[in-house]
Amino acid sequence: MDIATVSGIMSEATKIALYISAPILIAGLVAGLVVSIFQATTQIQELTLSFIPKIIAVIIILVLLAPWMLNQIVSYTIKLYESIPTLIG
């Protein structure tokens, strides 16, 4: 196993991690932005008002996209296990 192979495996793992985490991060970002704009326009500075919508948005995205996320992880793992004989030899 050479440096290029290890680099390719790490690159693919990083890409999968970014694909899986991006929807969750974007949902939290959008929810935070909407709540911040609401707080700025109404001058309500309640701390829980900014925290609770982010949690709800992230939970909704996790529930909706969990099958897709799991499919991505499982397919990458299967592909990685199937390539072990070629990596060792």
By percentage, how much of the chain surpasses pLDDT 70?
A: 99
**What are the residue ranges spanned by the domains of the chain?**
3-88
Between CA 44 and CA 50, with CA 49 as vertex, the angle to 5 degrees is 105
Q: Where are the alpha helices (DSSP H) in the chain?
A: 3-42, 47-82, 84-88
- 15: which 2 tokens? 């890409």
The predicted-structure confidence for 37-79, as pLDDT tens digits, reads as follows 998 899 888 878 888 999 999 999 999 999 999 999 999 999 9
The Cβ-side half-sphere exposure at 74, using a 13 Å CA radius, reads: 6
pTM: 0.80
- pLDDT, position 74: 97
Mean confidence (pLDDT) of the chain: 92
- pLDDT, position 89: 67
Question: Is residue 31 classed exposed, middle or buried when 0-12, 13-18 and 19+ CB atoms within 10 A define those classes?
Answer: buried
